[in-house]
Amino acid sequence: MAFERKIPGDLARSLARRSRYSQSLREERASAWRRETFTMTREAAREKAREMFSAFPKQAYMTEIESWRELADGQIEFTMRRLPSAD
Q: Rounded to whole angstroms, how far apart are CA atoms 82 and 59?
A: 10
- pLDDT tens for 24-34 read 666 666 568 88
Strand ranges, E, within the chain: 34-40, 64-70, 76-82
Looking at residue 32, what is its pLDDT? 80
Distance of alpha carbon 22 from the chain centroid: 15
Give the start-to-end residue ranges of the domains of the chain.
33-87
Looking at residue 81, what is its pLDDT? 92
- pLDDT tens for 32-83 read 888 999 999 999 999 999 999 999 999 999 999 999 999 999 999 999 999 8
Q: Rounded to whole angstroms, how far apart are CA atoms 80 and 18?
A: 32
